[in-house]
Chains A and B, each alone.
Chain A
Amino acid sequence: MNARSQALLQVSGLVKHFPLKKSAFGRGGGVVRAVDGVDFSVSAGETLGIVGESGCGKSTTARLLMHLITPDRGEVVFDGAGVGGRDLSLRDYRRQVQMVFQDSYASLNPRLTIEDSIAFGPQVHGLARGEAVQRARDLLARVGLEPRRFAERYPHELSGGQRQRVNIARALALQPRVVILDEAVSALDKSVEAQVLNLLQDLKDAFGLTYLFISHDLNVVRHMSDRVMVMYLGQVVEIGAAQGLFESPRHPYTRALLSSIPSMDPDRRTEEPPLAGDPPNPIDPPSGCRFHTRCARAEPMCAQREPARPQVFPIASGGGPGVAQPWGRSQVACLMYEPGSGHSAAPAATSPDPVRVEHP
């Protein structure tokens, strides 16, 4: 892989609001702020994990990236070219960025054999049928499904794990560079999940893929990711190297999220829930910092002032897994870390090094 001075995928200012229908009585009519200003970048060969509670916008972000839904605002730049612009048509972009969904059955056509399902995409993109079928068979073998036994089967004749392997093969049929995995292993049993995770790692190495790995299972994200992005109510609250973020989370939400993981130790059970209540409704998100209603460190000013969004790091080294130092500090959107924000834990405005707040 040749070295690149820029990120493979660069997302800036992504916004998607879903308007609500007005009811017959004239009520409603607000907007769901599903994704509300998201910036991040992914460099070639890395795996970026995306975590957050339901409704935080992680799946909407994935669908916006695929242009399955059109963003209201914001820009997606793939390999230096703006998606949907003159340099990179949507069709060419989608050939290079593919997606695997959670529901393995709903994402396959029940009337096509799995071989035809996999060969369908390449034919649409101009490959002859014979070649496409050959590619489908090669890929089936790659994902651990013996082509002679499985090629002619229909989706309902396979188990959930096998179907998800088919979906992975289909995503790879167009020889993409980026694969977005949206809760791709969440519906699988643990032992099958482990097989599919191993397969994903193998395929990544073999084809030099870049993954966006979306999951609500924090253990799995930790296992798979080089970098992790934490979302809350449509915004990024923390983004950074996986190891650093999991070992010493900085944003109060990330800390609460990580300490919600069951301890696996009967002698050290969780005694206090780290967060009370459900996530607030993205229709009418709280003012200021969106997390202030559930935050243990919130101060009055948190309700008024919105924290600055994490900056997109220019990728320094380029190429390869984009993380230079796995212990690098993550970027947070929190007034506690913002110099001169007025939060009692924030550093002074003139501080030359703004990010030196230690945890209480």
Chain B
Amino acid sequence: MTDTSTPAPIPAAPGATPGAASQPLVDVRGLRVTFTGGRRPVQAVDGVDLRLDRGEVVALIGESGSGKSVTLRSLLRLHPPRRTTISGQVVVAGQDVLALSPSALADYRGRVASMIFQEPLLALDPVYTVGAQIVEAIRRHEPVSAAQASQRALELFERVRIPSPQRRLQAYPHEMSGGMRQRAMIALALACRPQLLLADEPTTALDATVQIQILLLLRELQRDLGLGVIFVTHDIGAAVEVADRIAVMYAGRIVEEGSVRVLLREPRHPYTLALLKSRAHGAAQPGARLETIGGAPPDLSALPPGCAFAERCGWATEACQATRPEPVVIAPGHQARCLRTEATAAAASHGSDAPPA
């Protein structure tokens, strides 16, 4: 059904440090997000640095509670201000997001950066037709007539390949199937021609057959519109389908970052290694025991002073417990926050990757 059958050009692993001349689309430095609503403050994001070039796709992967969605939402400042403390720097397309006034923030959302969510039924308004919601979004940002906005909405629906688009524009969200709703939400997110698309687990609630359709659609739109995309997922498989780079998060930090190829083939952080191995996919033998990560992620309201993964890590030494690892550059564009990258490299090259007990 795709009319553009050329394979997706995968840019040659863009480095973590882009050329000095080009300013990155997204530049996050030292982002820390603390939720103060509960009994104890929860450090959900603990010093994240992330850069994204124009037209680049980065996948943030990690387990629940790793801070990937919180990081993403910070880019739109979606956290309730009274219960959240955000520090650090978030610059998107030259705008300092954390310093925007309320009206400037409203202009920024949807126009510069927009977001698609896991559950479109919750993200779309149930009492308006999908078409009306797209028209409203366009007219909020641009001085166009209702008729022009409707025409744009129709083009968007054609763009995201919703069958019989004219009729679907008149539909309410509950009248659409799951995959169709997700397409409608993508159309809504693209209504004001943003430069940055933030996707928060957009395919997690979908069946495999529909998931792959949405992933391919996102890839195609990203390529045709030159979008920068940050794609949050817990599914490495989905990340591999769309991303140029992958950043792995654990306990509020990016623990490893690199191009998709490098991260899959030469992971260096023990957590990435363990994550790749615990998947049932491609396990040596069906029914064989899966490698697991013992223990549980740390309590975010009482993070350890050293490496947050040390307690579950087979390679951890005393130094790991005491000092917080800084990013170690392994190759251009590939870095890991780990003190023992030499040990993990040796283990990986030997093929026997079980850490010393």
Contact = CB atoms under 8 A, between A and B. Distances in A.
B106 interface: no
A273 interface: yes
B38 interface: no
B205 to A, nearest CB: 9
Nearest to B241: A262
Interface string B194-227: 0000000000000111111101100000000000
A275 B292 CA distance: 34
A194 B292 contact: yes
Contacts of A276: 1, 213
B274 to A, nearest CB: 7
A264 B264 contact: yes
Q: Which 8 A-B pairs have the closest CB atoms?
A: A262-B237, A223-B280, A194-B278, A189-B63, A194-B290, A219-B281, A278-B177, A53-B207
| B interface, over-half SS | loop
A300 B260 CA distance: 44
A107 interface: no
B179 A222 contact: no
B354 to A, nearest CB: 15
Interface in A262-308: 262-267, 269-279
Given A159-B296, A223-B283, A272-B2, A216 B208 contact: yes
A220 interface: yes
Interface residues of B, number: 48
B209 A260 contact: yes
A198 B290 contact: yes
B101 interface: no
Interface of B: 1-2, 5, 7-8, 10, 63-64, 163, 177-180, 207-213, 215-216, 234-238, 240-241, 260-261, 264, 274-275, 278-283, 286-287, 289-293, 296
A134 interface: no
Given A216-B207, A262-B235, A191 B275 contact: yes
B212 to A, nearest CB: 5
Interface string A231-271: 00000000000110000000000001100111111110111
Contact of B212 (A220, A266, A270, A279): A270
Nearest to B278: A194
A127 interface: no
B10 A194 contact: no
A190 B279 contact: yes
Contact of A264 (B163, B211, B216, B240): B240
B81 to A, nearest CB: 28
